Amino acid sequence: MDLKALISVARGDMPADLLLKNARIVNTFVGEMEQVDVAIYDGRIAGVGDYGKANEIVDLQGRFLAPGFINGHTHIESSMLHPARYAQAVVPRGTLAVVTDLHEIANVCGLEGMRFVMDWADKLPLDMLFMAPSCVPATHLETAGARISPEEVQEILAQPGVIGLGEMMNFAGVVGGADEVLEKISAARGRVTDGHAPGLSGRELNAYLSAGIRSDHESTALEEGREKLRRGMYLMIREGSSEKNLDALLPLVTDHTYRRCFFVVDDRSCFDLLREGDIDAVVRKAISRGLEPVRAIQMATINTAEYFRLYDRGAIAPGYVADLITINDLAKLEIDMVFHRGELVARQGKPLFSLPPVTPGLADTVRIKPLTAEALRIPLPRRARPGEGEISQERYPVIEIVPGQIVTRKVLEKVQVTDGVVLPDAERDLLKLVVVERHKGTGNIGLGLVKGFGLKRGALASSVAHDSHNIIAVGVDDLDILSAIKEIERLQGGLVVCADQKVLASLPLPVAGLLSPEPLEAVVAGHENVERAAATLGNLPPAPFALLSFLALPVIPELRLTDLGLVDVVEFELI
């Protein structure tokens, strides 16, 4: 940046590259509107006021001009889109910066996976800001494809574009003072450190915060969010595809608290990105729930920027990055033009930028030991862990889905047993859940039962299973489950629907078994196809593959399944 030239443009001595005339700017500093001109030079805002000289002039005729949105916590891998396709999806929606923790792809491919995304980020009109993954693997209760040590966390933090330490999901490790966990936190001392603290309160919350963690996106209830705000946490109000917490937490946003709150999506599917949008969809929904529009925009711009110490973003002011959006109707948040560093990159929901050839990369990541139907049988254990008593036909632990949430309940159910083998029971909605290790070919298979999935026949399988992304399958019949898993192996990743040992539909995800190089519309069409096929197999919950992907995540209460077995998340141990 030529600072002397920028100052000269600000003084009015030199013409701007671009002048946006008669803009009604959303002033995120003071929460009000101003009708002014905005002069832009070399990707920065030079001045706000009355300007006349520019190489290009666009008269906004009183339309609203706001800072570009900042998505403060997301895992872009959850879109199932190649990084280039992801940019094509979110930039026209006004998202011009994302803070992303790449622990999904890092759990599969380690540092190589991170480099893949970071190399692509330099080629896109979207500022990707990275958080060093703190939990690869997320816990010791599963098998991941890679491990990132405290020393490697330090190396990642030294890379350009890495601004802090990603969500510390191993909250039990923090509270219990686990050495490796604390070493990673210490490596990021002085940097922003994100939290992940579902349900923590009282002294446990104090212990977690005393390590220097300052945010949380896992609050699902009003009092939980209130306590975290009172203890000094920034409240990331999450409204994703599977995790919808806006309605529960929005009452916490007041004149006293709003600067400590901002919007995130965490995980957003390709379908939702196409149909609803990204952070813009969250802002729009908050406005529809009664939040004043300027305040809603503040919570998607300057609040996020200030938490992450991005002091040249989130507002329209001299010296700030010229990431801007024009809005025709503020209440409806109708976005028209999108400028990235002063360049028009999208209009009326369509990207205007071209991409270099999109190559898949990160292939051959699904490696499983030869599998038979016999390996999928669940033997009735003779005893439970100490203190719980006998596991029997009358008391078998089952993962119960909580509608609309990614938390689950641990329930004890009477089960069918034949010849010492636990059987699923579709009539009672007790289905078999299987997790197969797919990184090292260990042959590890986790087996359990899940309630609330609604399948009456067939099976679903996926290589997307947070966070280690082993193959996860749910089904009524072992042979259908086996067929679905084998199809995942053949595709080298994806989503599969099977019935009567036949593949009804599939969506290939060949990039690390997580992403597709195809355009957004094609991926959405494929996703819709597998969901339509899945819907023919019973009374399934919304977004069944997204829901399935979280059933292997052993950092969200109460009961999960990994390749090592059933995990009691509250006790943080295999049962």
Do residues 134 and 154 lie in contact, with contact meaning Cβ atoms separated by under 8 Å?
A: no
Q: How confident is the model at residue 330 (pLDDT cuts 50, 70, 90)?
A: very high
pLDDT one-digit tens code per residue, 342-359: 999 999 999 999 988 887
Q: Is 383 helix (H, G, I), strand (E, B) or coil?
A: coil
Structure tokens belonging to residue 394: 């009358």
pLDDT one-digit tens code per residue, 218-263: 999 999 999 999 999 999 999 998 789 999 999 999 999 999 999 9
pLDDT at 388 over 80: no
pLDDT at 386 over 80: no
pLDDT one-digit tens code per residue, 41-65: 999 999 999 999 999 999 999 999 9
pLDDT one-digit tens code per residue, 260-285: 999 999 989 999 999 999 999 999 99
What pLDDT, on the 0 to 100 scale, is given for residue 384?
44
Q: For residues 343 and 322, give the distance between their C-alpha atoms in angstroms, rounded to a whole number.
A: 9
What pLDDT, on the 0 to 100 scale, is given for residue 407?
87
Q: How confident is the model at residue 478 (pLDDT cuts 50, 70, 90)?
A: very high
pLDDT one-digit tens code per residue, 96-149: 999 999 999 999 999 999 999 999 999 999 999 999 999 898 888 999 999 999
pLDDT one-digit tens code per residue, 511-557: 999 999 999 999 999 999 999 999 999 999 988 998 999 999 998 89
Q: For residues 561 and 408, give the distance between their C-alpha atoms in angstroms, rounded to a whole number.
A: 11
Q: For residues 44 and 92, give the distance between their C-alpha atoms in angstroms, rounded to a whole number.
A: 20
What pLDDT, on the 0 to 100 scale, is given for residue 390?
55
Structure tokens belonging to residue 150: 């405290």
Q: What mean pLDDT do residues 392-410 have?
A: 87
Structure tokens belonging to residue 223: 């009092």
What pLDDT, on the 0 to 100 scale, is given for residue 382?
64
504-511: long-range pairs with CB below 8 Å, 24+: 504/458, 504/533, 504/536, 505/529, 505/530, 505/532, 505/533, 505/534, 506/530, 507/80, 509/80, 509/463, 509/464, 510/360, 510/363, 511/82, 511/360, 511/361, 511/362, 511/363
What pLDDT, on the 0 to 100 scale, is given for residue 356?
87
Q: For residues 40 and 52, give the distance between their C-alpha atoms in angstroms, rounded to a whole number.
A: 12
Pick from 457, 458, 465: nearest CA to 495: 465
Q: What mean pLDDT do residues 166-173 have?
A: 91
What pLDDT, on the 0 to 100 scale, is given for residue 357?
87
Pick from 520, 435, 500, 442: nearest CA to 474: 435
pLDDT one-digit tens code per residue, 409-461: 999 999 999 888 999 999 999 999 999 999 999 999 999 999 999 999 999 99
The sheet carrying 378-379 orders its strands as 378-379, 421-423, 416-418
Extents of the domains making up the chain: 68-313, 373-574
What pLDDT, on the 0 to 100 scale, is given for residue 359?
79
Do residues 497 and 458 lie in contact, with contact meaning Cβ atoms separated by under 8 Å?
A: yes
Mean of the per-residue pLDDT values for the chain? 94
Q: For residues 338 and 345, give the distance between their C-alpha atoms in angstroms, rounded to a whole number.
A: 6
pTM score, two decimals? 0.91
Q: For residues 451 and 456, give the distance between their C-alpha atoms in angstroms, rounded to a whole number.
A: 12
Q: What percent of the chain has pLDDT over 90?
A: 89
What pLDDT, on the 0 to 100 scale, is given for residue 153?
95
Lowest mean pLDDT among 299-303, 322-326, 539-543, 564-568: 539-543
Q: For residues 333 and 280, give the distance between their C-alpha atoms in angstroms, rounded to a whole number.
A: 8
Q: For residues 501 and 236, give the distance between their C-alpha atoms in angstroms, rounded to a whole number.
A: 43
Q: What percent of the chain has pLDDT over 70?
A: 98
Structure tokens belonging to residue 244: 């919808």
Do residues 557 and 408 lie in contact, with contact meaning Cβ atoms separated by under 8 Å?
A: yes
What pLDDT, on the 0 to 100 scale, is given for residue 383?
55
Fold exhibited by the domain 68-313? TIM Barrel (3.20.20)
